[in-house]
């Protein structure tokens, strides 16, 4: 009986999760007349021009390039620094390493909103608000590092110390050990971190909007979507088409990394 209850609950949750995406896809092929006539009805025809208009007239292509640049730089720097920091905290017997990890967990627990004001003051006084991309990339790296370090450090603790000691006995430096022994084993945890961090950077709105109030260049997709909402009307077909183009990369990333993602979530569950 309990198994069926769990299955029904999971099915309901799946429907609740999938329905907004299906609704957005169906709406993306409608015009405003169809949308207001019956928002639940199927589109009378597939208006593919909504996607073309959103991409060209709505500048989704330009916004997408900005988001891709911001995501690639943010994720690359985060992963590199997180790998080095996590390895040091997990395997180099640094004094106070456990306390540092506890502090990182406490930082991770803090809501992002509580950091907005001090973060904005720092970025503003450093003059980064006038530097394209910088006001978004640097805070994103700072916000993603604690969680990424925690996940990777848990993974490093599952690697048998004998492997590392053997490399040290053979004369390998820590960087050589990292490159030849650790990195080949890191596909799963890195994929997990990439999925989590990419979803955060790709869809983040509050900080991106705050730091681009005085700018018209370098806007990411999350801000670009706001341009589809006018003062008196909204082009719902084009707006949902743009939303679909924002969501698709996240689904593609997860599809290609789901094997490593699932393995990464369980990598720190068993030691040995």
Domain shared by 196 and 109, yes or no = yes
Q: Does 160 map to a domain?
A: yes
Q: Does 95 map to a domain?
A: yes
Count of H-run helices and E-run strands, the chain: 13, 0
Last residue of a domain, one of 27, 47, 67: 47
pLDDT band at 269 (very low <50, low <70, confident <90, very high): very low
Domain shared by 194 and 229, yes or no = yes
Domain shared by 202 and 74, yes or no = yes
Domain shared by 197 and 106, yes or no = yes
Domain shared by 88 and 130, yes or no = yes
Residues of the chain above pLDDT 90, percent: 20
Range ranked top by mean pLDDT from 54-58, 64-68, 114-118, 188-192: 64-68
- For the cut 80, the answer to whether the pLDDT of residue 212 exceeds it is yes
Q: Does 272 map to a domain?
A: no
Q: Does 271 map to a domain?
A: no
User: Which range, of 74-83, 151-160, 247-256, averages the lowest pLDDT?
Assistant: 247-256
Domain shared by 69 and 104, yes or no = yes
- pLDDT, position 271: 44
Using CA atoms, how far residue 1 sits from 5, 92, 172, 211, in Å, is 6, 50, 57, 52
Alpha-carbon distance of 62 to 79, in angstroms, equals 26
- For the cut 60, the answer to whether the pLDDT of residue 265 exceeds it is no
Partners of 229 in the beta sheet? 234
The angle subtended at Cα 6 by Cα 19 and Cα 151, nearest 5°, is 80
Phi, psi of 230, rounded to the nearest 5 degrees: -85, 180
- For the cut 70, the answer to whether the pLDDT of residue 185 exceeds it is yes
Q: Does 154 map to a domain?
A: yes
pLDDT band at 260 (very low <50, low <70, confident <90, very high): low
Bigger pLDDT: 266 or 180?
180
Bigger pLDDT: 249 or 133?
133
Domain shared by 36 and 123, yes or no = no
Give this prediction's pTM: 0.82
If you average pLDDT over residues 67-91, what whole number do you get?
Answer: 92
Domain shared by 225 and 146, yes or no = yes
Domain shared by 119 and 216, yes or no = yes
Domain shared by 77 and 137, yes or no = yes
Q: Does 30 map to a domain?
A: yes
- For the cut 70, the answer to whether the pLDDT of residue 218 exceeds it is yes
Our measurement of the distance from residue 215's CA atom to the centroid of its chain's CA atoms, rounded to an integer in Å, reads 23
pLDDT band at 1 (very low <50, low <70, confident <90, very high): low
| Total domain count, the chain | 2
Q: Does 206 map to a domain?
A: yes
- pLDDT, position 226: 78
Other C-beta atoms within 10 Å of 167: how many?
18
- pLDDT, position 46: 86
Partners of 234 in the beta sheet? 229
Domain shared by 29 and 67, yes or no = no
CATH value at residue 107: 1.10.3720.10
- For the cut 50, the answer to whether the pLDDT of residue 151 exceeds it is yes
pLDDT digits 0-9 by tens, 232-255? 567 788 888 888 888 877 777 777
Domain shared by 184 and 238, yes or no = yes
Q: Which domain holds residue 191?
A: 55-266
Closest of 168, 192, 190, 193 to residue 180, by C-alpha: 168
């Amino acid at each position: 009986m309990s198994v069926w209850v769990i299955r029904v609950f999971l099915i309901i949750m799946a429907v609740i999760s999938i329905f907004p995406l299906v609704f957005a896809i169906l709406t993306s092929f409608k015009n405003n007349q169809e949308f207001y006539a019956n928002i639940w009805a199927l589109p009378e025809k597939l208006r593919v021009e909504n996607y073309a208009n959103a991409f060209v007239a709505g500048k989704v292509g330009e916004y997408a390039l900005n988001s891709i640049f911001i995501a690639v730089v943010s994720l690359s720097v985060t992963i590199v620094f997180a790998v080095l920091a996590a390895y040091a905290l997990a395997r180099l017997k640094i004094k106070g390493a456990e306390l540092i990890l506890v502090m990182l967990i406490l930082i991770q627990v803090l809501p992002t909103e509580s950091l907005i004001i001090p973060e904005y003051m720092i970025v503003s006084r450093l003059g980064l608000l006038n530097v394209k991309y910088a006001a978004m990339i640097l805070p994103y790296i700072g916000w993603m590092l604690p969680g990424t370090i925690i996940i990777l450090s848990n993974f490093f603790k599952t690697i048998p110390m004998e492997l590392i000691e053997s490399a040290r006995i053979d004369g390998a430096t820590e960087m050589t050990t990292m490159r030849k022994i650790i990195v080949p084993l890191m596909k799963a945890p890195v994929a997990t971190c990439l999925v989590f961090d990419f979803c955060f950077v790709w869809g983040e709105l509050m900080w991106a909007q705050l730091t681009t109030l005085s700018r018209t260049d370098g806007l990411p997709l999350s801000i670009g979507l706001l341009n589809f909402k006018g003062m008196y009307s909204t082009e719902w077909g084009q707006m949902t088409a743009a939303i679909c183009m924002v969501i698709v990369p996240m689904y593609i990333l997860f599809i290609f990394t789901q094997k490593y993602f699932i393995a990464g979530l369980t990598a720190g569950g068993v030691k040995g």
